[in-house]
Structure 1
Amino acid sequence: MSTDPELLIERRGQALWLTIQREDRRNAINAAVLEALTAALADASRDTSVRAVVLTGTGTRAFCAGADLQTGQSFRFDYSQPHQALADLFRQARRCTVPLIARVNGACMAGGMGLLAMCDLAVASRSATFGLPEVKVGVFPAQVLAVLQHQLPRRVLNELCLTGEPMSADRALAAGLVNEVAEPEALDGAVHALLVRLLDKSPSAIRRGLYTLKQVESLGFEQAMAFTESQIGLFALTEDAQEGQAAFREKRTPNWTGR
């Protein structure tokens, strides 16, 4: 377990939980949070004993309210650097082959929508709200679009970006932004149930599968077919593929090695 004052990192069984600990600032993002999140995802990707990562915020008011505007430094970058910290976090999440699960416990706004979108799966409290309010303070969710644009219908995305007004958890579910909505008191149970559905599956299939999913998203049809033609052969060569097929034939539970 990490004692980082900004980000709590704790192991719960086969899952790594990352909890933003800035409840007084509605779990807003700052430089320390970005650095700690990026490092934690890189570590999780290297650790084959980590089967899933759960990202959430402290308390019940907010998952993440976006950049911490109170600092007055939120949009001041070192422009001599070609890469910025939030973009690097999104890049690291994109490279991650461990399933990332957003546990949306409250308001999910601005950069918080980016944290949500960089995750592979999401469970939200019915009390959660979602929005891109950047136009209200004279900016725009530019970097967030890179991870969010394929997850929402274009009209819904345009409305969120251009009006800055929030939407409810039920509407987020209908739009496909989250996988499930649970009552606040049942949120942890819903996250646990999702983890159970992941953790009994082949670790190698999920790891290589996430890699494949992320690669084909931006490819055209012929490119995607050529890429996946090569990938399916590699899937079949893993120990898990041999074990899974043998277990199917023998009508028993597979004993996964993750290799």
Structure 2
Amino acid sequence: MSAAQERPVRVRTENGITTLTLNQPERRNSLSMAMLEGLSSALEKIARDDSSRVVVLASAGHVFCAGHDLREMRDKFDSHEFQLALFQQCSKVMQQVVNLPKPVIARVAGVATAAGCQLVASCDLAVAERGSRFATPGVNIGLFCSTPMVALSRNVSRKHAMEMLLTGEMIDADTAEHIGLVNRVVEPEALDETVYNMAATIAGKSGHTLKIGKEAFYRQLEMPLADAYDYTARVMATTMTAEDAQEGISAFLDKRDPNWQHK
């Protein structure tokens, strides 16, 4: 096996789309400390990579992500320091996904449970193949999914989130779409086409506009209504001075395709 194959995370960028692949199928792509550190490092590099405009978060094998590595956690039962560092590292990665200045699409094939479900909820968009399942089952093993509920409760209604958290039961992909955890559910053979068509559509936009828009979306969510309107009005006014906004408006009025400079 090559060194590249042994990495917990694989990264490939093509045509403005970076595919970030969880690459430990034999461990159900669990979020071990090594996997989390690999994700964190990759996200830091992608944030600085001007050739990357959209990220697809994918997985190798038949499980998207089974959450934390319980064997690793059990081996460290006596180390509160390790357990805290693990959950803090996981929280860091989830925030990196949200704060990444490029949209992130989860390509979900298989099961996404606990912190794996959290990872899906943290992405900006999610497409799941039919047959995928989701759960926050920590309650079943005496460890309530407290950190996963942060992302979950910001994506679905309170009652749907609480049902998942309190019962620990699996939901199917159609239910996940119904409650807003994923955007689309497609047949397995259509998964890549759907995901990469969506990614290509987004990659064709101004990278500067995507960055400003994503940041503004998450910031205004936490504001009172009046503050949100004040903030977004200022964002739009400032964006109007950007080259891409002026180019986009001119291209629309001139009935031509815009020539984005991504600034």
TM-score strictly above 0.5:
yes
- CA deviations on 1:197-223 (whole Å, 9 max, x unpaired) are 212222211110001001111111122
**Match for 2:174: what amino acid?**
D
Q: Which residue, out of 209, 230, 236, partners 1:232? A: 236
After TM superposition, the runs of 4+ consecutive aligned structure 1 residues lying more than 3 A away are 73-77, 79-83
Question: Could you tell me the percent identity over the aligned residues?
Answer: 35
Q: CA deviation at 1:147?
A: 1.6
Residue equivalent to 1:51: 53
Task: Check the 8 A contact 1:77/1:84 in 2, yes or no.
Answer: no
Task: Check the 8 A contact 2:17/2:200 in 1, yes or no.
Answer: no
Tell me the distance in 2 between the aligned counterparts of 1:77 and 1:56. 31
Q: Calculate the TM-score normalised by the size of structure 2.
A: 0.92
Task: Check the 8 A contact 1:68/1:74 in 2, yes or no.
Answer: no
Task: Check the 8 A contact 1:67/1:74 in 2, yes or no.
Answer: no
**Match for 1:40: what amino acid?**
A
Tell me the distance in 1 between the aligned counterparts of 2:147 and 2:76. 13
For 2:47, what is the secondary structure of its paired residue? helix
- CA deviations on 1:216-254 (whole Å, 9 max, x unpaired) are 111111221221121111110111011101111110110
- CA deviations on 1:16-51 (whole Å, 9 max, x unpaired) are 111111111211110111011112112211222211
Residue equivalent to 1:255: 259
For 2:81, what is the secondary structure of its paired residue? coil
Q: Calculate the TM-score normalised by the size of structure 1.
A: 0.94
Task: Note the residue ranges of structure 2 that are not aligned, 5 or more in a row.
Answer: none
- CA deviations on 1:181-203 (whole Å, 9 max, x unpaired) are 11111110111111122122222
Tell me the distance in 2 between the aligned counterparts of 1:5 and 1:47. 20
Residue equivalent to 2:131: 127
Residue equivalent to 1:63: 64
Residue equivalent to 2:159: 155
Task: Note the residue ranges of structure 1 that are not aligned, 5 or more in a row.
Answer: none
From the two aligned structures, give the one with the greater helix fraction: 2
